[in-house]
Amino acid sequence: MSKKYREVRRILRQNGWVHVRSAGSHEIWKYGDGQVIAVPSGGQSNRDVPAGTLANIRRATGIKELR
């Protein structure tokens, strides 16, 4: 089941990630322990996140809900 970019942003926020800034076509997110990830912004919030991108975000954050 694919997720939309707005769903990914919501899940990140619910798990303690904070949107710090945007750099080009990516959003920079930071966690309380100092971990930083770059997430593609995807243009529109209602677009589906590609499966590989979603898997990379899941691996980087450890959030199992991102499937």
Reported pTM: 0.91
pLDDT tens-digit readout, 44-66: 889 999 999 999 999 999 999 99
* pLDDT for position 64: 95
1, pLDDT greater than 80: no
Ranges of each domain in the chain: 5-61
Distance CA 67, CA 62 (A): 11
Residue the block writes with tokens 């593609």: 40
What value, to the nearest 5°, has the Cα angle with vertex 7 and ends 33 and 28?
40
Q: Which residue has the higher pLDDT, 36 or 2?
A: 36
Closest CA to 58 of 21, 25, 12, 23: 12
pLDDT tens-digit readout, 10-36: 999 999 999 999 989 999 999 999 999
Task: Tell me which CATH code domain 5-61 carries.
Answer: 3.30.920.30
